[in-house]
Amino acid sequence: MRILIVEDEPNLARQLRRTLEASGYAVDVAPDGEEGQFLGETEAYDAVVLDLGLPEVDGLTVLRRWREAGRKMPVLVLTARDSWSDKVTGLDAGADDYLAKPFRAEELVARLRALIRRASGHASAELKAGDVVLDTRSGRVTKGGVPVKLTAQEYKLLSYLMHHKGKVVSRTELIEHIYDQDFDRDSNTIEVFVTRIRKKLGPEIITTIRGLGYSLEG
């Protein structure tokens, strides 16, 4: 899963990036509204953390422009404002959730997890495929109740497929959603990660759809 943070306060942006990367997300950061708007319009994100008080272009304008352009990714608005009217304005502009500063990083991560789950049609924090369970809260994966250790990239790939269970996901889509902007995106590594996951969770866990991509059933 890939997250965009649009935040002009460097210390907060670094803290959020570290927290989200530690939670298993690929993360890009934009320091102002202009760059944030561009990235949100041109890159694939599973969710966005958007500050409202941004230089260049304010957060509400960025959000409205994304929605007018048909961008549907969940957006969690961050702001120092905490009035009822500001919350309504943000939600009416297209925000999916709202978090006022100061906040606890754990709450932000939990809200993002919920937004991403809902966007992909999942109500539970536990994603299941046969006897494989991925707990989005802890990042723990089990097979038949037995914990299975995955690398960070294996976890990201499995998580994306489990969020989109039953759908065919192309290599391009996987690359766009499990790597951040600065990562050396080599499509050949996707097959390597799929092979490793199959060895750990069973060959039937991921199906290759020739010429199209991968699918996870169950």
Asked if residue 113 and residue 8 are part of one domain, the reply reads: yes
Question: Residue 185 has what pLDDT?
Answer: 64
Average pLDDT, integer, range 129-140:
93
Which of 97, 119, 141 is the last residue in one of the domains?
119
Q: Minimum mean pLDDT among 56-60, 130-134, 184-188: which range?
A: 184-188
Question: Is residue 46 very low, low, confident or very high in pLDDT (cuts 50, 70, 90)?
Answer: very high
Is residue 128 within 8 A of residue 144, CB to CB? The reply is no
Question: Residue 26 has what pLDDT?
Answer: 94
Asked if residue 7 and residue 114 are part of one domain, the reply reads: yes
Rounded CA-CA distance 2/161 in Å is: 13
Asked if residue 9 and residue 112 are part of one domain, the reply reads: yes
Asked if residue 94 and residue 166 are part of one domain, the reply reads: no
Question: Cα 198 to chain center, whole Å?
Answer: 23
Structure tokens at 99: 């978090």
Structure tokens at 217: 């059933």
Residue 63 above 80 pLDDT?
yes
How many structural domains compose the chain?
A: 2
What's the chain's Rg over C-alpha atoms? 18
Residue 195 above 90 pLDDT?
yes
Which of 50, 85, 119 is the last residue in one of the domains?
119
Asked if residue 154 and residue 130 are part of one domain, the reply reads: yes
Residue-number span of the structural domain to which 23 is assigned = 2-119
Asked if residue 114 and residue 8 are part of one domain, the reply reads: yes
Q: State the burial class of residue 88 (Cβ atoms within 10 Å of its Cβ: 0-12, 13-18, 19+).
A: exposed
Bridge partners of 129, per DSSP, are 132
49 three-state secondary structure: strand
CA torsion, points 126, 132, 138, 139, in degrees to nearest 10? -120
Beta carbons within 8 Å of 91's beta carbon, 6+ residues apart: 98
Residue 148 above 70 pLDDT?
yes
Question: Which domain CATH number covers 7?
Answer: 3.40.50.2300
Q: pLDDT above 90 covers what percent of the chain?
A: 80
What's 29's DSSP letter?
E
Residue 62 above 90 pLDDT?
yes
What pTM was estimated for this model as a whole?
0.86
Asked if residue 10 and residue 89 are part of one domain, the reply reads: yes
Residue 159 above 80 pLDDT?
yes
Which of 69, 86, 119 is the last residue in one of the domains?
119
Question: Which domain CATH number covers 131?
Answer: 1.10.10.10
Average pLDDT, integer, range 41-48:
96
Asked if residue 97 and residue 155 are part of one domain, the reply reads: no
Peptide bond into 74 cis (omega under 30): no
What's 16's DSSP letter?
H
Average pLDDT, integer, range 109-124:
92
Asked if residue 91 and residue 195 are part of one domain, the reply reads: no
Asked if residue 131 and residue 87 are part of one domain, the reply reads: no
Question: Residue 152 has what pLDDT?
Answer: 92
Asked if residue 100 and residue 130 are part of one domain, the reply reads: no
Asked if residue 113 and residue 9 are part of one domain, the reply reads: yes
Q: pLDDT above 70 covers what percent of the chain?
A: 96
